[in-house]
Structure 1
Amino acid sequence: MNHILQKDELIKHIKTCLKKTALPQDIYEPYIARPFQTTGFFDDLSPYIEIESHGYILIQYERGVKVLNKRTKEADEVIYWILEDTIFLTVYLDMMRQYQVDNIQTHLPNDPSIHQQIVERVNEAFRAIGGLYEKWHHEGKRASIETQSKK
């Protein structure tokens, strides 16, 4: 995709991808539009997107400080980046629901089997989506997206 997609178009693509998975829609639905918020509290290391006429600005915050401010013209990179975050978050929140923990007073067990379940469910979701996004997931493209470009 080289055409600059607007927020509603990007969200539509993301929803289409997520509906191919077995992930609970009630969990991921509220998080799909979050990357496009422009004011308020910004979750640490979550993707945020600004759309310009010639591309996108990929943004991340940590403790209220902008730690990533990177440009791309590729809508697929934006969609993939949001999918990576949303899928992991959805799997994690669903696991919390399954184990009946609140992540405040009770937490998921720090156990290799729990970590393995999370990895398997994330991989399963990307397998269901397939195509370029699955390929990028297995290649670890998120790390290259989140690396600040050299000027």
Structure 2
Amino acid sequence: MPALLRSLVPFICSCEMKKTGVRKLSGNPLAAFISSKAANDMKHILQKDELIKRIDTCLQMTSLPRDIYKPYIARPFQTSGFFDDLSPYIQIDSSGYILIQYERGIQMLHKRTKVADEVIYWILEDTIFLTVYIDMMRKYQVDNIQTHLPNDPSIHQQIVERVNDSFRAIGGLYEQWHHEGKRASIETPAKK
């Protein structure tokens, strides 16, 4: 199988699983196929443009407003300037991806991975939450400077439901990881 096609297998299977209604990898006949191809996928490092394209394709499967999420898809790949607190930033080199996160201007995470799906998922988690939050601010006509969303359980519930609905629309591995809370393990610094 050509390297490019092999690199697309996890993504294609994720989208195909969504179309066919298959949501979980466990017990799925595709699971063994995906995991064997995922090992091969680690050898092919996707570049910024391909990662952005895959993230955008996933987000287009949701009902989220594109005018909100579109500017945030490329933000994780910026290399200079102001870095938002606790947002994902990615550097790509010949051996894989470097996952970076800042808090109050101090780098809190610097971790390597070779798994493109982890990078895509991490950016999806952040972008989906941010998009839902900004859309809720529009709905309630607040600016997050002078006025803020009410600290109300129903608002929190709406945000959680919209984030879950977005991952349900994307389906596959990314939905599974969302429900498993994989973001926490990605954001846990590697042991030295």
Normalising by structure 2, report the TM-score. Answer: 0.78
Q: 2 CA distance for matches of 1:31 and 1:123?
A: 19
- Give matches, 1:1-151, under 5 Å: 1-2=41-42, 3-151=44-192
User: Post-superposition shift, 1:43?
Assistant: 0.3
Aligned residues: 151
Q: 1 CA distance for matches of 2:45 and 2:178?
A: 22
Normalising by structure 1, report the TM-score. Answer: 0.99
In structure 2, list runs of 5 or more residues that go unmatched.
1-40
SS, match of residue 127 in structure 1? helix
Q: 2 CA distance for matches of 1:139 and 1:52?
A: 29
Q: 2 CA distance for matches of 1:31 and 1:82?
A: 9
What RMSD in Å do the two structures reach over aligned CA positions?
A: 0.5
The code of the aligned residue for 2:45 comes to I
SS, match of residue 41 in structure 1? coil
Return the index of the structure with the highest Cα Rg.
2
Q: Which runs of 4+ in 1 moved over 6 A?
A: none
Q: 2 CA distance for matches of 1:43 and 1:149?
A: 21
SS, match of residue 107 in structure 1? coil
SS, match of residue 108 in structure 2? strand
User: Post-superposition shift, 1:23?
Assistant: 0.1
User: Post-superposition shift, 1:10?
Assistant: 0.1
- Write 1 or 2 for the structure with the bigger share of helix: 2
